[in-house]
Chains A and B, each alone.
Chain A
């Protein structure tokens, strides 16, 4: 129940959001406070609801390409990846290997961009203003690269059923190699400026500890789960696309606090760089699109569930077809929704400032929750 103000009690009801600097969008959290201590926190969602799932059920598959990027603007390509993989699986389309490699390269770059955005925003939540500018400096390189290949900087609409929209060129490949070198040297700056900082450590260590049991109870995934020592990564447990061909680690940290989640994400960026590097080395030649994609993609009858590892965790597309080219049902399982549901339990008894840190460490993207 959302708490209501009660003048007879010594508690205060505070409405954090929908417009608040650290709710990153339009999340509203109703807090019941005793002084600075949070007694209850109730997230209220739906302010950014745009009926993406319903749109997926009234449009044909190609009409939905543009929607996927709008759900998670920080990691749009993972959302596109899940969508096209689900449809391809239903139709039994075999994608040319070059297209799959391109998908992996761009998705991993996008994952780094998403984590960089999170890094900056998290530090902003903790009151440090400068790191976001440094991480955006790096992120800008990724966006330039992705813009060069997809034509857009945020909502890419790049993946197509049967391949990708446009081939990579030499400039992208060279640029990506330069970026990988640059990014590796930048981690040192981040560690010096932030990871080692005593104020930062005191703000995140032991704050918002999530036990593995809680992770299982709420179905949290992604860096949140891996920050509690659960090595659950769809790329490893249920390999899709060509991920099984690469050598990369799944970083996990057992502490379960904000600092563990922070370290998971920083380590993941390094792993993503490794994947991109390997993929660039082995990039096969060939077409980037299946020869013949039927004009009308007749879906089903049947159903598929395709999960991918988005930047925030497990992203699932559940697609039901009834023989027409418009899906009968398109259910999306966004990662942030489950991760947000932890907040209720995590927030009990923490300080207001810690609540902000916890919310930041969960890496919530509100449009993806509201859809």
Chain B
């Protein structure tokens, strides 16, 4: 048996299935959470009729999306048009593989974990570009152009802020970074806090969420890059967006908020079953806390303008994160 199915392969397949299932559940939950939070911020209850307090609303919406025909516009590049949604949601799911949910709950502890995630996250912009270009729609094209400029610009401060932590720990490996935060979390050190703030802002920009939702900018570009998508094509973009949010928050948690460590005495570094459960709960609590903040931010602010977005990145975020990196490097040398 072991010859035909090496246990490692089985483990990989099983974990991959679990990760995919987790990504889908996460999206389903987040859609509801987002609509509920948005509703309450706007002083209305949000979805309420399907199921108790609207709990089944996402399921119904999912069925509706799947039942809808995915139209391909006549002038569209059909192949690319169909590939784009898949391109947008597969990479973030794959990146979840290296996320340490608990000490023992990590599919692969790659020694280049941080790099692996970042390179996969960068594919997102390609998906948007392909979607916008292949739609043969001017609004979509504008969305794609904006997405590329925005993501390329914001990747720089994002990387710089992560680099602060990486040189601090001296490793790209996710588990090492978590282990280094057993006593204190990086977000509670001055340099770590600045890096965290920069990272979080860039994370919102990377996931194209308000106030940086320029590629879809509803009031300007109708729906931006996914104007022409209907049914599950649109659904997959949504899935990709929510998985990306999860990923961004998971990285923030791992690198800045102590990963699966709980606060001081409520934590455990064990490897047993219950220790794993507790660690996972801490991890998810932090991740979803960050996601709630992202949702909260989205429903509060107006959208920034395109040139302001780039100015903000080049004139504020990049200098600050560079200075932060330099200060950290000097401090580590001392």
Q: Which residues of A contact B (CB under 8 A)?
A: 12, 14, 20-22, 36, 123-130, 133-134, 137, 193-194, 197, 199-200, 202-203, 351-354, 356
Q: Which residues of B contact A (CB under 8 A)?
A: 38, 41-44, 138-139, 142, 210-211, 213, 217-222, 299-308
| Complex contact B138–A128 (CB within 8 A) | no
A-B contact pairs, 17 of them (CB 8 A): A20-B222, A21-B218, A126-B219, A128-B303, A129-B42, A130-B41, A194-B302, A199-B211, A199-B303, A200-B302, A202-B305, A203-B302, A203-B305, A351-B306, A352-B220, A353-B217, A353-B306
| Complex contact A124–B219 (CB within 8 A) | yes
| Complex contact A22–B220 (CB within 8 A) | yes
| Complex contact B301–A352 (CB within 8 A) | no
The residue from A130, A133, A351 contacting B305, defined by CB atoms under 8 A apart: A351
| Complex contact B219–A127 (CB within 8 A) | yes
Q: Are A21 and B142 CB-contacts (below 8 A) given A126-B303, A202-B305?
A: no
Q: In the docked arrangement, what's the CA distance between A352 and B142, Å?
A: 10
Q: In the docked arrangement, what's the CA distance between A22 and B302, Å?
A: 14
| Complex contact B302–A128 (CB within 8 A) | yes
Q: In the docked arrangement, what's the CA distance between A24 and B303, Å?
A: 18
Smallest CB gap from A23: residue in B = B219
* Residues from chain B with Cβ under 8 Å of A134 in the complex: 42-43
| Complex contact B219–A199 (CB within 8 A) | no
* Residues from chain A with Cβ under 8 Å of B138 in the complex: 12, 14
Question: Besides A127-B218, A134-B42, 14 other CB < 8 A contacts?
Answer: A14-B139, A21-B222, A123-B302, A128-B301, A134-B43, A194-B302, A197-B301, A197-B302, A199-B211, A200-B302, A351-B305, A353-B220, A353-B303, A356-B220
Q: In the docked arrangement, what's the CA distance between A87 and B142, Å?
A: 52
* Residues from chain B with Cβ under 8 Å of A128 in the complex: 300-303
Q: In the docked arrangement, what's the CA distance between A100 and B211, Å?
A: 47
Q: In the docked arrangement, what's the CA distance between A200 and B142, Å?
A: 22
* Residues from chain B with Cβ under 8 Å of A133 in the complex: 42-44
* Residues from chain A with Cβ under 8 Å of B305 in the complex: 202-203, 351, 353-354
Q: Report A191 CB to chain B, min CB distance, Å.
A: 15
| Complex contact B142–A127 (CB within 8 A) | no
| Complex contact B211–A127 (CB within 8 A) | yes
| Complex contact B301–A199 (CB within 8 A) | yes
Q: Report B56 CB to chain A, min CB distance, Å.
A: 24
* Residues from chain B with Cβ under 8 Å of A130 in the complex: 41-42, 299-300
Smallest CB gap from A194: residue in B = B302
| Complex contact A137–B218 (CB within 8 A) | no
* Residues from chain B with Cβ under 8 Å of A199 in the complex: 211, 301-304
Q: Report B292 CB to chain A, min CB distance, Å.
A: 16
Smallest CB gap from A126: residue in B = B302
Q: In the docked arrangement, what's the CA distance between A351 and B306, Å?
A: 8
* Residues from chain B with Cβ under 8 Å of A137 in the complex: 43
| A22, A199, A356: most-surrounded residue (chain B CB, <10 A) | A199
Q: In the docked arrangement, what's the CA distance between A21 and B216, Å?
A: 12
* Residues from chain B with Cβ under 8 Å of A22 in the complex: 219-220
Smallest CB gap from A36: residue in B = B306
Q: Report B312 CB to chain A, min CB distance, Å.
A: 9
Smallest CB gap from B308: residue in A = A202
Smallest CB gap from B300: residue in A = A130
Q: Report B303 CB to chain A, min CB distance, Å.
A: 3
* Residues from chain B with Cβ under 8 Å of A21 in the complex: 218-219, 222
* Residues from chain A with Cβ under 8 Å of B217 in the complex: 127, 353
Q: Report B248 CB to chain A, min CB distance, Å.
A: 20
Smallest CB gap from A31: residue in B = B138
* Residues from chain A with Cβ under 8 Å of B221 in the complex: 352
